[in-house]
Structure 1
Amino acid sequence: MISSTLRFLFSAALVLVCLTTSAVSPPPKEGGQTPSPTKSPTATPKPTPAGAIDEKLFSGMQWRQIGPFRGGRALAIEGVPGEPDTYYFGAVAGGVWKTTDGGQNWIPLFDKEDISSIGAIAVAPSDHNVVYAGTGEAAIRGNTTYGIGIYKSIDAGKTWKNVGLKDSRQIGALIVDPRNADVVLVAALGHAFGPNPERGIFRTADGGKTWTKVLSKDENTGGIDVVFDPHNPNIVFASLWQARRQPWFFSSGGAGSGLYRSEDNGVTWKRLEGNGLPEGILGKIGVAVSGADSNRVYAIIEAKEGGLFRSDDAGQKWTRVNDDGRFRQRAWYFSKVYADPKSADTVYLLNTGAFRSVDGGKTFNLLPARHGDHHGLWIDPENPNRIGNANDGGASISIDGGKTWTTQNNQPTAQFYHVAVDNAFPYHIYGAQQDNSNVCIASRTDSGVVGREDWYQAGGGECGFVIPDPRDFLCRWTIPDTARSISLTVFSGCRRYCFRHMIRT
């Protein structure tokens, strides 16, 4: 996305390039003689359709990673209580990743699966070997990627199995009952571009063998958030969101949106309305229950008269404690709230920045988190100084309450809109990364290794295209994803000249 503030341009992401391998000759016979090739009957070649490419041309090519290694958009992150160095995060274009050294190194766990878009992830509190991942991101921007249901691992992420809800497409949240690893609640948003029945709040009591739709409105409304009361998992809060994405249009809101409460572990539900909540169209809603006080519930509501609402009686009555527009800008993309497990007055809001309040939501301070555009937060229930954050630049970890964070330049999960190459020899690869800078990478180097020193700025911020001039690769054209302007960046030695040509749209 294009932010209202010019952001620092990080260096890292993922580009893959093909190499042609050497031809292999037949092995020599004993004595050093090379056998003559055996002639086989000549087969009549099959006609090749016009414009088709013979696959044999690529039979000797291999993939190699040349970087950069900066993270891309991530919506989900989860730590493991009692294991301070273990975390998982889910990238919207890179699958599930795991660290066992506090974020210094990340290992990909999802490379063998059929999907790479992750919307939610949860570790079973009663059995840390059990991990669930909901595929498909629910931040349904124009380049959203859909999923194919819920995956489950019973060996801490080594292997995975799809356990259903394959047509849910976009997963907003996923939680595991702390008493039983087989009881799971899922907020399934459903198809972003049209109606479908597999949307709402789903529950399984047998580890994903069967699923029951326990809360729904209609084929245009899906689940977007679901949380337990940390002290009583029979109490559950959930929100439904009516939204529709089209290539030319987006709608967030609708009569189907609403906030709900369950007192029987998510089997039955009651809609919460009135009593201080806004009237009319509610839009997207995020909800959180304080681990310090079960009566303290927070909800961030998109509505016209929305904002941050607080309940001090477990959801019976509500008060709007903050209507600052900073926390509701692009509400459909954010609207995430998290309660501190030890202090009822400490609450976090995620938007373009990560914000924290220590006075019950009345005022907020900006945390010095990595990157911008924040989508996911995990707070250790036993140690609130230990925090995991997922944002448009990847995942990072803090062990000092958000003062400092681990790097995001160690997780190649970038989303590239388009890739191009120039006519130089060796050639360069150009990529336009979502919510990061454009990048130019050398395909080969004299040292034989492509490293950080071989990654170059290619001009611009978030662009849909970056294209080198075929006559002079130092001239690069970039087109923002809004398609409202075209920029020409000319690199000459240490000087750079930028020309912008506006286009009316």
Structure 2
Amino acid sequence: PTTSIGNGIYRSDNGGRTWRHLGLDETGRIARIVVDPMDVRRVYVCATGSGFGPSPFRGVYQTTDNGRHWSRVLFVNPETGCSDIAIDPADPRMLLAGMWQFHIYPWDLDSGGPGSGVYLSRNGGLSWTHLAGDGLPKGPLGKIAVAISASDPEIFYALIQDGPPGLYRSTDAGAHWVLVSHNHSMEERPPYYTRFAIAPNNPNRLYFISTNFTTSRNGGRTLRFEHCGCGDNHDFWIDPKNPKRMIITDDEGASVTLDGWKSHQVITLPDAQIYHVYTDRAVPYNVYANRQDGYSYRIPSNTRTESPITPAFWTRVGGCESGFAIPDTRNNNIVWSGCYEGGLTRFNIQRGEGRTVSVFPLAGYGWPPRALPDRWDFVFPIALSPKNPNTVYVGSQYVYETQDGGQSWRRISPDLTLNRKRDEGSSGGVTIDNLGAFDAMSLSIIAPSPLSAGMIWTGGYDGQV
């Protein structure tokens, strides 16, 4: 839900070579698109919407003329969007939708509320019934994924963020539901994942994707971990005519199998999310960057040959995916690299040696920010003094300074945030998710003056300078 905003829906009529924009510009984020298998002109769009505030453009939309015109057929309230939708391929008038109330604040991903629920339409979206009771949890509920079995359309499933995740099953087309499992592996970190699929030829064979990839052969009662060479999995596709042919998409690309995961191919796409970029003073200069789901790297800007700059030229320099990787301005072999929750490494490239020099030795995973002595953001700031490269700064809600390579640290500031205790609680909403990604009462940047020794500027996620 914290991804960038989109500008609507697109369609390709030639296998992806070209695309046409077909409206729904204000929906912000689209979670699912389903096409009527008996009438390709009829399409349903599950719009999550903008999560950073109320939006009147959330809900389920329908077109009956190939996207020339759209009508919204399901809307709960401006705080609630659509997280998933399923269609019965044998009777496309039967639709099942998961509606999700959530609001993203700098200090909290508040997932869940009275707007979340399971909705059923038996007439192609003309009217909807909110399914409550009859075995479904009372709530408040969070994110919801839904599915209808293609081989037995009377069987519905709903995966619901409900404290511990709950998998619910109906064998009478949604009239009654039974809790199947509370296994956490089905739905790790629900706001980020909550996706599953049913095999088109077997209503009891289920596939769950989140941090891990798990499968079930008995309708979700038991799970088995599968190896797919992937992680942080976000979507799943099964060929409706060949159930052994499947694709999982993840943060780095996709994993494809043609034999039901007896074997698979990992496809890494040539793109990446980079947190920050720095350069050193070498000739030719090197580029330093932190790559999502990767490490901190040093990458040459040029080579001595005509060969391209492939990953074979990349050098790891400590740290991890988030934060900064900043080279020492006097010695390019020394790099200061950050990681989650205040993790800091001083890396010596020449020796291939990294030394942990964190201010505080323990990470705060699982704890609300107000319970910790230092509030380290997921991407905490690091800065080297342009006047004295021996001086390095890092920031929680305080600024810390070292002048001996991280052997010791000295706090040199008071709390530079608003320190609003009401905004220092647990994040996640229905399910607690304290990973340091939503902590507004912490620093985002430290900027020492290049002209005036001792002058240091800071900025915080709470807007304080």
TM-score by length of 1: 0.69
Match of 1:432 among 290, 295, 314: 290
**Aligned mate of 1:446, from 290, 298, 304:** 304
- Residues 61 and 72, structure 2, Cα contact 8 Å, conserved in 1: yes
User: Paired residue for 1:416?
Assistant: 274
1:368–1:403 contact (8 Å) kept in structure 2: no
Q: Deviations over 1:168-206 (max 9, x none)?
A: 101111111112222110111111111111110111111
Contact 2:198–2:206 (CA under 8 A) maintained in structure 1: yes
Q: Which residue of 1 aligns with 2:314?
A: 455
Cα pair 1:243 1:251 within 8 Å, conserved: yes
Matched, 1:342 2:191: no
Residue by residue, what CA displacement relative to the aligned partner does 1:329-359 show, whole Å, maximum 9, x if unpaired? 3111111110000111101111111110001
Distance (Å, rounded) in 2 between the aligned partners of 1:187 and 1:405: 30
Give the match for residue 170 of structure 1.
Answer: 29
Which residue identity lines up with residue 425 of structure 1 in the other structure? V
TM-fit CA distance, 1:310 = 1.1
Partner of 2:115: 256
Q: Contact 1:484/1:502 (CA < 8 Å) preserved in 2?
A: yes
Deviation, 1:490, is 1.9
Q: Is the 8 A contact 1:278 1:305 kept in 2?
A: no
* Residues 164 and 184 in structure 2, CA contact (< 8 A), matched pair in contact too: no
Q: Is the 8 A contact 1:398 1:404 kept in 2?
A: yes
Identity %: 36
Alignment of structure 1 residues 62-461 onto 2, 5 Å: 140-141=1-2, 144-304=3-163, 306-409=165-268, 411-449=269-307, 450-461=309-320
CA contact (8 A) 1:370 1:393 kept: no
SS in structure 2 at match of 1:316:
coil
Q: Given that residues 463 and 478 in structure 1 are in contact (C-alpha distance below 8 angstroms), is that contact kept between their aligned partners in structure 2? A: no
| Greater length-normalized contact order (CA 8 Å, ≥ 6 residues apart) | 1
Q: How far apart, in 2, do the equivalents of 1:458 and 1:305 lie?
A: 38
Which range is displaced more, 272-281 or 439-448? 439-448
Q: CA deviation at 1:466?
A: 1.6
Contact 2:165 2:184 survives alignment (8 Å): no
Whichever residue aligns with residue 261 of structure 1, its letter is: L
Q: Is the 8 A contact 1:369 1:405 kept in 2?
A: yes
Superposed displacement of residue 456, structure 1? 1.8
Number of the residue aligned with 1:499: 356
Shift in Å at residue 392 of structure 1?
1.6
Amino acid corresponding to residue 171 of structure 1 in structure 2:
I
Q: In structure 2, do the counterparts of structure 1 residues 400 and 438 end up closer, same or farther at CA, with 3 Å as the change threshold? A: farther
Other structure's SS at 1:167 match: helix
Deviation at 1:221, TM superposition (A): 0.7
**Unpaired runs of 5+ in structure 1?**
1-139
How far did residue 414 of structure 1 move?
0.9
After superposition, what is the alpha-carbon deviation per residue over 1:291-350, rounded to whole angstroms, capped at 9, x for unaligned? Answer: 221112111100126411111111111111110123233111111110000111101111
Q: 1:202 is matched by which residue type in structure 2?
A: Y
The Cα shift of 1:452 comes to 3.0
SS of aligned partner of 1:172: strand
Where 1:224 maps in the other structure, the secondary structure is strand
What letter is aligned with 1:148? Answer: N
**What's the secondary structure of 1:326's corresponding residue?**
helix
SS of aligned partner of 2:247: strand
Q: Tell me if structure 1 keeps the 8 A contact 2:35–2:44.
A: yes
> Quick one: distance in 2 between partners of 1:332 and 1:187?
16
Q: How far did residue 422 of structure 1 move? A: 1.5
Q: Give the Cα–Cα distance (whole angstroms) in 2 for the partners of residues 256 and 342 of structure 1.
A: 33
State the secondary structure of the residue aligned to 1:346.
Answer: strand
Task: Give the Cα–Cα distance (whole angstroms) in 2 for the partners of residues 445 and 151 of structure 1.
Answer: 40
Amino acid of the structure 2 residue aligned with 1:435: D
Q: Whole-Å Cα distance in 1 between the matches of residues 204 and 348 of structure 2?
A: 52
Q: Is the 8 A contact 1:356 1:367 kept in 2?
A: yes
SS of residue in 2 equivalent to 1:182? coil
Whole-angstrom distance in 1 between the partners of 2:258 and 2:319: 34
Q: SS of the counterpart of 2:25?
A: coil
CA 1:485–1:305 in structure 2 vs 1: closer, same or farther (change >3 Å)?
Answer: closer
Say whether the 8 Å CA contact 1:150–1:166 is kept in structure 2.
yes
Q: Please give the secondary structure, in 2, of the residue aligned with 1:242.
A: strand
Q: Does structure 2 conserve the Cα–Cα contact (< 8 Å) formed by 1:357 and 1:365?
A: yes
Shift of 1:408: 2.6
CA deviation profile, 1:347-400 (whole Å, cap 9, x unmatched): 111111111000111011111112211110001111111110101221121112
- Give SS of 2:103's match: strand
Shift in CA distance, 416/339, structure 1 to aligned 2, threshold 3 Å: same
8 Å CA contact retained: 2:327, 2:333: yes
Contact 1:224 1:239 in 2 (8 A): yes
What is the one-letter code of the residue matched to 1:273? A
Q: Structure 1: which amino acid aligns with 2:354?
A: Y
Alignment root-mean-square deviation, CA: 1.5
Q: Deviations over 1:237-286 (max 9, x none)?
A: 11111111122221000110010111112222111111110012111000
User: What amino acid sits opposite 1:473 in the alignment?
Assistant: N
Matches of 1:186 and 1:477, distance apart in 2: 46
Structure 2 gap segments, 5+ residues each: 361-373, 376-465
Residues 261 and 270 in structure 1, CA contact (< 8 A), matched pair in contact too: yes
Greater Cα shift, 259-268 or 448-457: 448-457
Alignment correspondent of 2:406: none
User: Letter of the aligned partner of 1:328 in structure 2?
Assistant: E
Mapped partners of 2:318, 2:342: distance in 1: 16
